[in-house]
Amino acid sequence: MTTKTLWMVLAIAALMSVGAIAEDAFAIKANIPFDFMVGNQRVPAGEYTFAQNGSSTMIQISSWDTRTGLRVLRHPAGDNTTGSPYALVFNKYGNRYFLRQVWAGHGVMGAQLPASRTEKEEMALSAPAKTTLIASAVR
């Protein structure tokens, strides 16, 4: 294999990997009408952007209105049973909401957030969670 051919193969491989990373990236925007928990952190109601860059295991949650910015670990969520390609799923215990899943498009694997210590405590003390779904817009 000549040097020129080797460079061409490497360039094509690099372009293909950039395309694969771009497919895994998403950014959606939603107006959340209630305060909610992400991990053990309380987040005020407001307009938020939920983003994942490439194959990152983190989701970036940010809001200009509430001056909030945080990153949270995520896991694959499995099948989307929400009925909406762009959706946020919250578990509600009493009057507290916990962000559980982020869905960002047709054919995109959803992101599942692990239950925090606070949510596990609520699970033990409360009746079963009520699921709240917020359909969101693509950004």
* Average pLDDT of the segment spanning 121-126: 85
User: For 20-29, 93-102, 115-124, 126-135, which range has the lowest pLDDT when averaged over its residues?
Assistant: 20-29
Nearest to 118 by CA among 135, 88, 89, 94: 94
Q: What is the DSSP string of 1-43?
A: --HHHHHHHHHHHHHHHHHHHHHH-EEEEEEE-S-EEETTEEE
Domain count, the chain: 1
pLDDT at 108 over 80: no
Q: What is the pLDDT of residues 69-87, one digit of tens each?
A: 888 878 778 777 777 888 8
pLDDT at 51 over 70: yes
Domain for residue 102, yes or no?
Answer: yes
Domain for residue 35, yes or no?
Answer: yes
Domain for residue 17, yes or no?
Answer: no
pLDDT confidence tier of residue 92, bands split at 50, 70 and 90: very high
